[in-house]
Amino acid sequence: MRVLVVEDDPELQVAVPAALRSAMLAVDLAGTIAEADEALFVNAYDCVVFDRMLPDGDSIGYVHSRRQQGFAVPVLFLTAMDQLADRVDGFEHGGDDYLVKPFAVEELIVRVLSLSRRGPTIRPPILRYADVELDTGRREVRRAGVLVTLRAKEFSVLEFLMSRPEQTVSRTDLIEHCWDAAADPMSNVVDVTITRLRARLRGGPDLIQAVRGRGYRLIQPSGAQS
């Protein structure tokens, strides 16, 4: 899952993305409303974390305007504006959640994960395909009941594939949803991650099929092709 953090405080620009990346999320950073608008135009996100008071204005007005245009990505306001009226305004103008600074990192992670699962369409907290179970809340994967240890990108790729079972997913889609803006779309990071993911899911038939010239998809063991 991919998250956009819109924050201008130098310390939080480091701390918030680091916390979210520790939860296996891909994170992009913007420091102004204008930068956020550009990022949202170019990329697809599962959640946006907005500071309210940014150098070019209060983000609540931007979110409200985008909601009127049909913008459906969940928004969490992360702000020092802690009065009841501020929180009410946040919800009334398009926010899905509101967390006041200072905040507990663990709470931020839980809230962002919850919103990211919702996305424009609600995702179940546990995904299942064949004998693989992926728990998005605990960030755990089991195959045939056995815990599988995955790296952050491996988890993200598997989650994306399991949310679209048996659909072919292009390398571009995987880059856009599982990596942040620093990823090179011309590199082989997707193929390397898939290779590692397949190795970690050993203990049963290969469930990930390469579709030549198009990308990857999950397949039932009986449908595996050589």
Show me where the domains of the chain are located: 2-118, 126-223
pLDDT at 185: 62
Pick from 147, 193, 136, 181: nearest CA to 210: 193
Pick from 47, 43, 56, 42: nearest CA to 20: 47
Confidence class for position 207, pLDDT limits 50, 70, 90? very high
Check whether domain 126-223 has CATH 1.10.10.10, yes or no: yes
Q: What pTM was estimated for this model as a whole?
A: 0.66
Assess contact for 160 and 25: CB atoms under 8 A: no
pLDDT greater than 70 at residue 210: yes
Check whether domain 2-118 has CATH 3.40.50.10420, yes or no: no
pLDDT tens digits, one per residue of 58-78: 999 999 999 988 888 999 999
pLDDT greater than 80 at residue 223: no
pLDDT greater than 70 at residue 95: yes
In one-letter notation, the amino acid at residue 178 is C
Work out the average pLDDT over 13-26.
90
Confidence class for position 224, pLDDT limits 50, 70, 90? very low
CA-to-CA dists, residue 186 to 72, 172, 175, 190, 191, angstroms? 30, 9, 10, 10, 11
Rounded CA gap, 225 and 222, in Å?
9
